[in-house]
Amino acid sequence: MMMTSTIRIQRREEISDMCRKLFLSQQLVALCQQATPRQEEFLHDVLSMEVESRERSKRSRLLNRARFPMPKSMEGYDYSHVRLPPSITRVELEGCEFIGRKTNLVCYGPVGTGKTHMAIALGMKACEMGLAARFYTVTELVLKLAEARKNGVLERLVSDIRRLDLLILDEWGYVPVDKEGSQLLFRIISDSYESKSLILTTNLEFSKWGGIFTDQQMAAAMIDRLIHHGHLLVFEGQSYRMEHALMRKTASERSKGGDEHGR
């Protein structure tokens, strides 16, 4: 009897919690006082199914809105070429704990070493956790900001970005940005400071940012905001894409050599 009573109390607490999630009246919990254990269990199961359905729909919406160019995962990710700073562990990184702390990740290293893969994978994990993320290449974002300003809807776009939990900016510094673009980008960086997390991927060392963004002082201000609450992840080694292309080429050459010997 004691066990049954404990189970019903726990079940009613769960029903109460689900009512809050579904924005339903707590009157449903009160009705449990008059319900049989089977009726109460049925109500619990129905609410549980609805909560799960809504959470699945929310995750799907978040993933669609994030605009990831392709799906990626951290499962089996090769860390052998990545140097993590002492300020963040692999567990904290993959658990997206940095987003809750509103800290940034700057992924620095040569092209093709897995920076974008990690950025997308962490962004997708954030969406699975119910957090709002968005992926842009820097060139794409600058063009969108400039177009929004031209069409008089800049504040709407800025407000949309402001509501994100995570903003991913890929290919930072790959293409020079004009003065107007630099100013618009600086506004996004400043607006994000201590209000959300950023993930940047770049192959450009900090000392060269001024040449890309046309203004040394603005570049210095960007760096200051990014690293004040941030972690620098250094990616090393040969391009993953290049390495595997070379592996395929070598395998192909060996195959041809084997055929010739076979003849």
> Which among 133, 139, 124, 129 has a CA at the least distance from the CA of 161?
133
Please give the DSSP secondary-structure letter assigned to residue 208: G
How many whole angstroms separate alpha carbon 22 and alpha carbon 16?
A: 10
Shared-domain flag, residues 19 and 55:
yes
CATH number at residue 88: 3.40.50.300
How many whole angstroms separate alpha carbon 153 and alpha carbon 125?
A: 30
Q: Which of 65, 93, 114 is the last residue of a domain?
A: 65
Shared-domain flag, residues 60 and 86:
no
Span 14-49, pLDDT tens digits: 888 888 888 888 888 888 888 888 888 888 888 888
Shared-domain flag, residues 105 and 167:
yes
Shared-domain flag, residues 9 and 111:
no
Span 90-103, pLDDT tens digits: 999 999 999 999 99
The answer to whether the beta carbons of residues 142 and 72 sit under 8 Å apart is no
Q: Is the pLDDT of residue 257 over 70?
A: no
Residue 251 lies in a domain: no
Shared-domain flag, residues 198 and 133:
yes
* pTM (predicted TM-score): 0.77
Residue 37 lies in a domain: yes
Shared-domain flag, residues 46 and 93:
no
Segments forming the whole domain that contains residue 96 = 82-243
Residue 126 lies in a domain: yes
Query: pLDDT > 70: what percent of the chain?
Result: 89
> Which among 90, 156, 155, 146 has a CA at the least distance from the CA of 118?
90
Shared-domain flag, residues 110 and 36:
no
Shared-domain flag, residues 101 and 226:
yes
Shared-domain flag, residues 54 and 99:
no
Q: Where is average pLDDT lowest: 78-87, 148-157, 226-235, 251-260?
A: 251-260
Using CA atoms, how far residue 148 sits from 16, 143, 144, in Å, is 44, 8, 6
Strands 82-83, 230-235: pairing is: antiparallel
Pairwise pLDDT comparison (225 vs 156), residue with the higher score: 156
Residue 216 lies in a domain: yes
Residue 249 lies in a domain: no
Span 107-145, pLDDT tens digits: 999 988 999 999 999 999 999 999 999 999 999 999 999
Question: What's the domain count of the chain?
Answer: 2
Residue 140 lies in a domain: yes
> Is residue 75 left, alpha or beta, with left meaning phi > 0 and alpha meaning psi from -120 to 50?
beta
Shared-domain flag, residues 99 and 178:
yes
| Orientation of helix 138-150 relative to helix 179-192, angle to 10° | 100
Shared-domain flag, residues 106 and 157:
yes
Residue 43 lies in a domain: yes
Residue 71 lies in a domain: no
Shared-domain flag, residues 91 and 61:
no
Q: Which residues of 118-129 are buried (b: 16+ CB within 10 A; e: fewer)?
A: bbbbbbbbbbee
